[in-house]
Copies of this chain bind each other. A is one copy, B any other.
Amino acid sequence: MPLPQTEMPGRLQAHFAERGIRMTQQRRAILRVMETANKHLDAAHLLRKAQKLDASVDRSTVYRTLKLLKRHGLIDELDLMHINGEGHYYERKLNRDHIHMACLGCGKIMEFVSDIFEKLKGQVEKDCRFRIVVSRLEIGGYCAECSK
């Protein structure tokens, strides 16, 4: 299930420039981590990784930057079915939405892109006259291995 994994690198920074958002040393570190992360960072991991690039980054700056990114629709916030506690996970918003599946057996997170999902969103927009800004489909269950 390949995904359109990487947009242009530096894209988040570019967005900031376009929108006239001030670029600080700390934000640069945080954005770089977001851009290069494999996936599914929570705030604590993001903080730790960002501090390796700039030791001065503070927890509250991470949260404030995440809120900023969310407000601009540049990242998605995930729960991953609360498989590991109550916190949230973040990933760059890519071109296509994808479904997150969390295995209740082994904790693995899988992703899936589906035309039917796109069709479903189209139906919601049309039938409910609802303008979709953000959507999140999370599924909990058991992967092939854990189903045996």
**Interface, chain A (partner B; CB < 8 A):** 1, 77, 79, 81-82, 99, 101, 103-104, 110, 112, 114, 116-117, 119-121, 123-124, 127-144, 147
Contacts and interface: CB of A to CB of B under 8 A. Distances in A.
A112 B129 contact: no
A129 B144 contact: yes
Nearest to A147: B131
B141 A134 contact: yes
Given A79-B79, A99-B124, A124-B114, A136 B133 contact: no
A120 B114 contact: yes
A86 to B, nearest CB: 8
Nearest to A111: B128
A135 B135 contact: no
20 contacts: A1-B128, A77-B82, A81-B134, A81-B136, A101-B124, A101-B128, A101-B130, A103-B130, A104-B133, A114-B123, A120-B120, A128-B144, A129-B144, A130-B143, A130-B144, A131-B142, A132-B141, A135-B139, A136-B136, A137-B137
Nearest to A121: B139
B138 A133 contact: no
A124 B112 contact: yes
A77 B143 CA distance: 21
